Amino acid sequence: MKMKRNQSLSIQIKSIRIALFVLIIIGICLLITQNMWVPPLVSQILASQNQSVPTPSTAKLIVPVLTPPVLTALIPVPAFDDSGVKVQYSKLLDSYHPANPKPTDACAYDISFVYPRISGVGTPLIEQKINAHLKESNETAFRNTQKDFKTPLTDTTLAQRTTDCNGVSDSELTYKGALHLQKFPNVLSFEIHSYVFTGGARGEGETSYENYDLTTGNDITLNDVFISSSNYLDKLSSYLTAAVPLMVAQSKFVPYRDAGLVSQGLAPKISNFDNFYLTDRGVAIQLHTNQISSYAKGQPPAIVVPYTYLKGVLNPKGPVASI
């Protein structure tokens, strides 16, 4: 009788072990199929075949350090209209359209740069410094673009050249307007529109901004506007995270579906918020093309982060010291 009990107990233990083994195998299969874990052997096999090991997501969701504020409306973005600023615009133009091209000739191209020369907003010395910087930087960019577009091809037939060129290359850069606010008389901002096409389905355009300190003639950076040792990047990240859904609803802008990619574009990094200008009510942040959406969707509208929200991180010796 005792022997039968021991045999029965042994069978039960074996059954439990088999069930546990089956459950472990099922669990491992689920982890592998859901890309949650890849065994070392599988990883080595994939690596040997030059294949990437699957991961749960291509973009990690970044949670803002600060709790995003609750927003019900966005601050309107002011227009750049040159009001209060005397501006003369200079043009740099170049075109190349060969009538009978050789296979190695560069692709046809058009280049157009339009940049300003300002007066009436600062001392003659400061204006001279700003104008010299605008002239030098744009002429340098223009020459570099020419150099890129004039690069000879290595094709051996005209058919190859036609395929490689895929249309006329185009590069445009235009200063569309200036903003000089009475609230910040020592700040001058420029709005710049750029567009580049070098083949493919479409070109890529972007709006960017330059800001100058009229007391020094120097560029204004985020670390001039904010206390560099503060958590201002966290505050910008938090506010933009809350504002983007409202911006999307108002403008019908289409961001990435992957929340991880959007959160990376709004992470507290200088490169995410370095395209900005100052308004009467806040710092306007213009996100870059491709930052929270594909370039095919265009560039999102600028978002104004109010000075009231940024209290405590604004530089008391910077361009917004009067706040």
Mean pLDDT over all residues of the chain? 84
Q: Are residues 6 and 147 in the same domain?
A: no
Closest CA to 285 of 252, 310, 261: 310
Is there a domain that residue 17 lies in? yes
Report pLDDT for 158: 92
- Residue 300, pLDDT > 80, answer yes
When comparing pLDDT for 48 and 314, which is higher? Answer: 314
Q: Are residues 190 and 288 in the same domain?
A: yes
Q: Residues 163-200: pLDDT tens digits? A: 889 889 999 999 988 898 889 999 999 999 999 998 87
**pLDDT-based confidence at 201, cuts 50/70/90?**
confident
Q: Are residues 210 and 113 in the same domain?
A: yes
Is there a domain that residue 63 lies in? no
Task: Report, as an integer, the average pLDDT of 133-155.
Answer: 96
- Residue 260, pLDDT > 70, answer yes
Q: Are residues 36 and 165 in the same domain?
A: no
Q: Are residues 121 and 24 in the same domain?
A: no
Report pLDDT for 56: 42
Closest CA to 135 of 91, 187, 195, 86: 91
Q: Are residues 95 and 12 in the same domain?
A: no
Report pLDDT for 253: 85
Three-class SS of the chain? CHHHHHHHHHHHHHHHHHHHHHHHHHHHHHHHHCCCCCCHHHHHHHHHCCCCCCCCCCCCCCCCCCCCCCCCCCCCCCCCCCCCCEEEEEEEEEEECCCCCCCCCCCCEEEEEEEEEEECCCCHHHHHHHHHHHHHHHHHHHHHHHHHHCCCCCCCCHHHHHHHHCCCEEEEEEEEEEECCCCCCCEEEEEEEEEEECCCCCCEEEEEEEEEECCCCCECCHHHHECCCCCHHHHHHHHHHHHHHHHHHHHCCCCCCCHHHHHHHCCCCHHHHCCEEECCCEEEECCCCCCCCCHHHCCCCCEEEECCCCCCCECCCCCCCCC
Is there a domain that residue 173 lies in? yes
Report pLDDT for 143: 97
Q: Are residues 43 and 114 in the same domain?
A: no
Q: Are residues 219 and 276 in the same domain?
A: yes
Q: Are residues 218 and 277 in the same domain?
A: yes
Is there a domain that residue 34 lies in? yes
Number of structural domains found in the chain: 2
Task: Report, as an integer, the average pLDDT of 16-24.
Answer: 60
Is there a domain that residue 74 lies in? no
Is there a domain that residue 184 lies in? yes
Task: Report, as an integer, the average pLDDT of 234-257.
Answer: 90
Task: Report, as an integer, the average pLDDT of 9-38.
Answer: 54
Is there a domain that residue 21 lies in? yes
Q: Are residues 94 and 158 in the same domain?
A: yes
pTM: 0.77
Is there a domain that residue 108 lies in? yes
Report pLDDT for 20: 60
Task: Report, as an integer, the average pLDDT of 57-78.
Answer: 76
Q: What is the CATH number of the domain that holds 202?
A: 3.30.565.40
Q: Are residues 43 and 105 in the same domain?
A: no
**pLDDT-based confidence at 3, cuts 50/70/90?**
very low
Domain span holding position 12: 2-48
Q: Are residues 290 and 214 in the same domain?
A: yes
Report pLDDT for 46: 36
